[in-house]
Chain A
């Protein structure tokens, strides 16, 4: 029998269904693994030992009674700590929410729970999802299980590390500018940011509302499609969610004959690490050998993605984070004189440096007199970026490129130079700006032994195209 911790979600789900393993065993083994590894990885902010075991028994009963038959029933899952979990601490990795226990769950969390997945904990992240390394967390740094001297990426670094470090079978992350794909790439796991509107954002503590999407972080493409099928769909609580076909697993076909794949040359220019470049291009060759039509093209506007992204995301964030004021929940400063002083001290003490930097940037670009020059201009560039992708998708089914310019950097390197950190989002942010689905699939390692990710980008609501390409590639590549 395969070791529980080595199983994918779909494999473990089958074993539970076939009564080879009980849900309690699966949860217990996972919790033990967390106990053993947390000192090294620190993937979690909260581990839900007791609640997970209680729920495991309930789910086992429901499976035995034939009431839960889905592929994720009984499978342990970790949730990024910016998704609300009813009755369980939800911090966004911030001091600001150090004591916040929501009275409601995110829709995506609810959907996983109804499918029988067992939530075993809340994972570490960059504070309010602002960062690319999971080093801005108030609760300490998460380390990359491949080499604990390196960062796991971010902001969903805890979720990616938990999957890579076998501390859960799969996880949910959120992606505003690359926060699922980049850590998935750094940790050698699969991560998908769905088309904007595919997964409800209700209960996801907002960073950049027009860009945020929840998505799976998991061990293979099959899990990725299976999980997405469970969490996707229109939600009456989220006006921006859309009604989409969710039969993603039907795209798990090992056939890319005639699939048109475009490689944007602008993604392979200056700044891209040579090892990453080679690994990604050889992955393209694999697909070409399997019958895909691969060609290079010029996407254009790539240089504008980062400034556009940071203008829009921080503008929205500056407003989204206004509610954290010490009045209703979360952190409030100890001593203060009057309302204004309470706001000021609470927010100065409750938010970390990176969050404050982005709030200031966002407030600035929305200020009267600057709104047109920055925010509105950014919206116009966003529309142009979308147009550039629309044109590309006239010719191609899938766009293929790197996820990040480098492999995971060492701890402490990135925060020294925020501009450099921001530039590491160069290949991921435009996907959020255009609302497209993007997936990170492991495609090799650097000489230093760090994983490299391949990014597959699809047209809006065409997740099936990238799932098919990723699945075919994965078949050829074999397990990593």
Chain B
């Protein structure tokens, strides 16, 4: 009989927090600065400097902990993880081992078999490292410490997942919660969310866990899926052939769809963790926790339920709009101004999604303001512009967040519905298109469409198509 195997997966998820400044100094966390321009003596590990904890990091960590049903540690501490590598200027990372800020939580995910809770072992705060750039041509390495000291939280799950689908559902849930909190933008590609996969297999029905491996370098949901499936097969193949799975850290190569050994348990480093004497313990009292709890946003499930009650828009729209808090915020703010949920939803669902897709962006990148979207809707409602002009304006708004009212003024895009102004143009169109005119007169109703189009073209799209249609019929 063929043996049946079960995959057991636990995740370590690193999330870069959206604070303006670093975790232990006042340097900016902004992306893209010239190398070593967002640095100071503290985050470059100069002698004699000391870390001072950024309170916002604690509050974000607490917010994520509360949203994932964790217990908050009233008296948490930082520890030093010692290892020599040049990306880490002190040669120790300030992290939390012994008393992490959050512990024993869970999130619920939807699986084929229904709702399932994934337990969270702990969430801890730590600092990111700098970036090493290998200058192969000159046989040297350069270091950029701009990322050194950027705050991270690490969310460690229990080994509660059984498939790549569950892993993705868990990650999507975390991402949603954290984005809703504004604690991070959670972009895997850009590294603001990173997941390491701990995986083992066992025969179905066994209680003990198999030997696990840890997989690193997973930069997208598809890489995670591929890596999980490949690692599951690799481990099963080993067991089937009578070999043993070795406890080790492996690196996934998405291009080649294989993983390689990074280091085995035998050469695992001794990090000589100990409490960082430069930082005092973080005292978190009930009042502070309550303050954070009170400021928690409305999360997606509640928001979806409320939209169903409040707005007459399709369920599908609700699902898309609430996928990010950013889009939901734009939706609500725009509706608050113009009171036309269906129209607002249409702009988001059709034009916005199209442009996001074309430009390879996601909803968190939307820059146009609810104010401007409301103005655009008003301009079309009041027939100041026609729908094709509206689409053009929207496209400019999408990229530059222009004020559509001003833009219409400046570019002279107001719809022409004045019959005298249109008559001359229509007469010219009739004169220049005798064939279509004849077709129409011979009963080909469709020919009028072509003539409307010609008129619109001559009017550079600014004519009211309804009036053009009406006048053409009269004049023919």
Contact = CB atoms under 8 A, between A and B. Distances in A.
A323 B52 contact: no
Nearest to B91: A322
B92 interface: yes
A328 B272 contact: no
A363 B48 contact: no
Given A239-B278, A327-B86, A363-B272, A322 B48 contact: no
Contact of B82 (A104, A322, A324): A322
A319 B89 contact: no
B35 interface: no
A240 B278 contact: yes
A323 B89 contact: yes
A393 interface: no
Contact of B91 (A238, A323, A363): A323
A374 to B, nearest CB: 11
Contacts of B80: 319
A323 B48 contact: no
B50 A202 contact: yes
Given A97-B47, A100-B47, A209 B277 contact: yes
Given A325-B84, A327-B143, A343-B84, A319 B274 contact: yes
Nearest to A326: B86
Contact of A206 (B48, B91, B143, B280): B48
B48 A325 contact: no
A203 B48 contact: yes
Nearest to B85: A339
B203 to A, nearest CB: 33
* Most chain A CB inside 10 Å of its own CB: which residue of B50, B270, B278: B50
B44 interface: yes
B51 interface: yes
Interface of A is mostly: loop
Interface in B43-78: 44-53
A104 B53 contact: no
Interface residues of B, number: 28
A192 interface: no
A442 B388 CA distance: 93
Contact of B48 (A204, A315, A366, A375): A204
Interface in A115-153: none
A322 B41 contact: no
A103 interface: yes
Interface in A299-325: 315-316, 318-319, 322-325
Contact of B272 (A239, A319, A327): A319
A329 interface: yes
B45 A83 contact: no
B90 interface: yes
A45 B278 CA distance: 28
Contact of A368 (B41, B45, B48, B270): B270
A328 B44 contact: yes
Given A239-B278, A322-B84, A329 B46 contact: yes
A84 B48 contact: yes
A92 interface: yes
B86 A371 contact: no
B272 A104 contact: no
Interface in A181-229: 201-206, 208-210
A104 B270 CA distance: 33
Contacts of A323: 45, 47, 89-91
B47 A371 contact: no
A106 interface: yes
A205 B90 CA distance: 13
Interface residues of A, number: 44
A409 interface: no
Given A239-B52, A323-B90, A366 B274 contact: yes
Contacts of A92: 47
B44 A371 contact: no
A367 B47 contact: no
Most buried by A among B41, B86, B277: B277
A203 B41 CA distance: 10
Contacts of B92: 319, 322
A367 B272 contact: yes
Nearest to B81: A319
A202 B49 contact: yes
B144 to A, nearest CB: 13
Interface in A377-436: none
B353 interface: no
B125 to A, nearest CB: 14
Given A201-B50, A237-B52, A371 B280 contact: no
Given A205-B48, A366-B272, A366-B274, A103 B41 contact: yes
A264 interface: no
Contacts of B91: 322-323, 325
A236 interface: yes
Contacts of B363: none
Contacts of B46: 102-104, 328-329
Contact of B277 (A90, A236, A316): A316
Contacts of A368: 270, 272
Given A202-B48, A239-B52, 18 more contacts: A92-B47, A102-B48, A104-B41, A237-B52, A239-B51, A239-B278, A240-B277, A319-B92, A322-B84, A323-B47, A323-B90, A325-B86, A325-B91, A328-B46, A328-B89, A366-B274, A368-B270, A371-B274
Interface of A: 82-84, 90, 92, 97, 100, 102-104, 106, 201-206, 208-210, 236-240, 315-316, 318-319, 322-325, 327-329, 339, 343, 363, 366-368, 371, 375
9 contacts: A103-B41, A205-B47, A318-B272, A319-B92, A322-B84, A322-B92, A339-B86, A343-B84, A366-B273
Q: Which 8 A-B pairs have the closest CB atoms?
A: A322-B91, A210-B277, A366-B272, A209-B277, A205-B47, A203-B48, A205-B48, A323-B45
